[in-house]
Structure 1
């Protein structure tokens, strides 16, 4: 029997659950990209490429704010960033009742992007990493599952209100929910140094959080990581991932409707995909604690490549359900494995700024993928060319992962 006490209990568990509630804010993006889209196309008559381009400000807001948040996370209290993100999200959605034009929709996307940067994987991952070591993957899985649970609930919540009271009322209701549910949770997501624990008076190795107190020499900062091959491998693989994910988020509901499904059926499949992601983070967290971080990422990207390949098949019921299961599991598992691999390659002391710089891939992949897919569909009546290119990039990404390594060990040899 292990002499170490369980990590996920007491204050640690409270912090992890609070972080999970903060992550529900990311689920708001599923509403803007999925069930809201048909309403906007009907009311404003936009093309799909124009609709997809409205997310560009959000994508750039996420990428740039993530880099800034990563810089600030080691200089200010992380829960202050979380609280500010919740307020921005609530205000943006509650003011969305005035939405009448494309630029206002783009502005709403940008507000959601700023909130995502503050309430997203960087801040939450940094907090959870401080509190855990032996069960870090499981803890990250629990925390990150909040975005999928939030997305599954938010899409259904919005769809129900929009069907009876209109889509503007649905967006306002989501803003109010952020104010009364997410904001209070941000105050509980405290960093380890903000709370004096009995364990902290003893040896750090007995708490399971020894890495928080390691010497800085065993961790690579951003300038050092930029000179390693693993950093550039992660940069390309993340860009490929964002191309797939944002394309699916923006076009999956419309793609299914093109295939003959009703709006309700297509929205339900999207909600199921998001809900599958919540289960994935919990399961994959358990799996990742039993694999090496690079091994866990290889497994994840193999599933991502398979899911991208499924989009090239005729969209019958079996193919659609296989895609929902595989993609739902794989895209959410990426949230868990990425901070683990960053920690494996470079150490966790500079995890937040490193993750922030890597998130600059989001504006590139997240803009090019969906806009190109929308353009291809507008011009050819099919998404197949775009899906094939994205599938090829995911396959290349999977192969590149075999060259990841612990760069700290490489520096010592």
Structure 2
């Protein structure tokens, strides 16, 4: 690595960038932390309201699918109008979905609230809108680190929301817990205003030429082999994470683990994800991002296989949650940073949205198939095996990615 490049990475983040990172972290904390709690409600919805596990899993899976299909549009809206109005709309829709699920008298209402409305809300309050705002305000040399810091800060919500939702649910019931989460989502909405800050004039960089339209950029991206491989690889990430987040608490109950260990494991995943996201952002600024992704997927797949095959204990669950947390959402700053490197930031929200659609197709299958296979066979074994193998598949896709900078991308330095 050259001395000039090392100095660029060592340069301190400017104030506007820090404000945007803080706002992004708070919004991500609310949105990602709340959706991390959904696995806690499968049992209560099933036992208290008499809904089949397959239907509840479908509602959770559907929000992942809706999130994926809505993400390119949410990203395009943020590219054009700014992040603030998109975040405000998304937070309101998210909260409405949670409120509908809290009072859902039937499976259809649960699907509409937890599936449709929450899916639209999440698309406007997470990575495709929030992290792309961070990517625009940071310099190209510091972009991976800045996105990693925002993702790490956003993991605080995963640490706090799960025990909070569990506590309120146990003391006041499912409906009160969901209403409380809806209120917290609305509180986070005003921070979207800070996302539209621009870089200081002293650190402005040339963006993609104005003549490069969205249509031209999308056409170029679909013809770029690296972009296609990145899109395919992100599918497996969604499959793995959605299955674990949705079904780990129920699986641990089947293994006769202590009550509440599932919530503890999800909170630990969020805690260690703070370190993992920061580390992935740091590594992505010093090594080729696709190689970091490849090793991350190998590590994740091996961890899943070992956890499933080895005897279960409280210690093994804690270790599994810790390692999974280190590899959990570090894929996001690496993936979005790689897209920004190849194509610049002018249409980053839309381009990441397309890749993220693939991620969410995987999330839908991971969450839904987990419930379907369990209802059909009484076991999670086939899905655990598929989730472990998915890590190897993703690694094989990411290592050969060509990160050639497209002609429309901004230069690495001013």
TM-score (structure 2 length as normaliser): 0.88
Deviation at 1:4, TM superposition (A): 9.5
* Equivalent residue number for residue 288 of structure 2: 292
Equivalent in 200, 205, 213 of residue 210 of structure 1: 205
Q: Which moved more, 1:245-254 or 1:90-99?
A: 90-99
CA-CA distance at 1:117 after TM superposition = 0.5
The answer for the alignment partner of 1:397 in structure 2 is 394
Q: Secondary structure of 1:297's match?
A: helix
Which of 317, 322, 325 is equivalent to 1:325? Answer: 322
* Distance in 2 (alpha carbons) for counterparts of 1:347 and 1:213: 6
Deviation for aligned residue 1:92: 3.0
CA separation in 2, counterparts of 1:232 and 1:354?
11
Aligned to 1:108: 113
1:367 and 2:364 aligned = yes
Aligned-CA RMSD value: 2.6
Shift of 1:101: 1.9
1:88-146, Cα deviation, whole Å (9 max, x unpaired): 22333344442222222222222221111001111112211111122222211221234
Matched, 1:156 2:163: yes
Structure 2 CA distance for aligned equivalents of residues 403 and 310 of structure 1: 26
* Of 18, 21, 38, the match for 1:16: 21
Question: Which residue number corresponds to residue 32 of structure 2?
Answer: 26
Q: Which moved more, 1:356-365 or 1:74-83?
A: 356-365
| Distance in 1 of aligned mates of 2:34 and 2:334 | 23
Alignment correspondent of 2:42: 37
SS, match of residue 287 in structure 2 = coil
1:404 CA displacement = 0.5
Cα deviations by residue, 1:292-313 (Å, 9 ceiling, x for unpaired): 2222212222222223323431
The question of 1:304 aligning with 2:320 is answered: no
Q: Name the count of aligned residue pairs.
A: 399
User: In 2, Cα distance between the equivalents of 1:146 and 1:38?
Assistant: 30
Task: Measure how far apart 1:281 and its partner are.
Answer: 1.3
- Counterparts of 2:100 and 2:308, CA distance in 1: 40
Which of 174, 182, 193 matches 1:175?
Answer: 182
Q: Residues 128 and 353 of structure 2 are in contact (CA less than 8 Å); yes or no, is this contact kept in structure 1? A: yes
SS at match of 2:79: coil
Residues 1:79 and 2:76 are matched in the alignment: no
Asked if residue 65 in structure 1 is aligned to residue 70 in structure 2, the reply is yes
Query: Is 2:268 the partner of 1:272?
Result: yes
Distance (whole Å) between structure 2 residues aligned to residue 214 and residue 7 of structure 1: 28
Distance 2:51 2:303 in 1: 29
Q: Could you give the per-residue CA deviations for residues 331-384 of structure 1, whole angstroms, max 9, x where no partner exists?
A: 211122111121233333322111111122144212222222222222333211
Residues of 1 paired with 2:228 and 2:248: CA distance? 30
Q: Deviations over 1:190-236 (max 9, x none)?
A: 142xxxx6x41x5xxxx1x525366777x971111111221221121
Query: Separation in 2 of the partners of 1:336 and 1:364?
Result: 19
Separation in 2 of the partners of 1:3 and 1:327? 31
8 Å contact 2:67–2:119 — kept in the other structure? Answer: yes
Aligned twin of 2:193: 187
Question: Greater CA deviation, 97-106 or 153-162?
Answer: 97-106
- What CA distance in whole angstroms lies between the structure 2 residues aligned with 1:4 and 1:47? 52
1:70 CA displacement: 2.2
CA distance, structure 2, for counterparts of residue 139 and residue 147 of structure 1? 12
- Of stretches 352-361 and 288-297 in structure 1, the one that deviates more from structure 2 is 288-297
- Report the CA distance shift for 1:376/1:230 in structure 2 as closer, same or farther (over 3 A): same
Kept after mapping to 2: 8 A contact 1:69/1:117? yes
Residue segments in structure 2 that go unaligned for 5+ positions in a row: 410-414
Query: What does the per-residue CA deviation read over 1:244-299, in whole Å, with 9 as the maximum and x for residues that have no partner?
Result: 11111110000111111133122111211122212211232222222122222122
SS at match of 1:331: coil
Partner of 1:339: 336
- 1:139-181 CA-to-partner distances (Å, cap 9, x unmatched) read 112212344211221111111111111111111111122223x
Contact 1:294 1:341 in 2 (8 A): yes
Q: Unaligned regions of 5+ residues in structure 1, if any?
A: none
Residues 275 and 211 of structure 1: is their aligned pair in 2 closer, same or farther, counting only changes over 3 Å? Answer: farther
Q: Partners in 2 of 1:58 and 1:367 — Cα distance?
A: 8
In 2, Cα distance between equivalents of 1:215 and 1:295: 32
Question: Is the CA contact 1:82–1:118 (under 8 Å) kept in the aligned structure 2?
Answer: yes
Normalising to structure 1: TM-score of the pair? Answer: 0.89
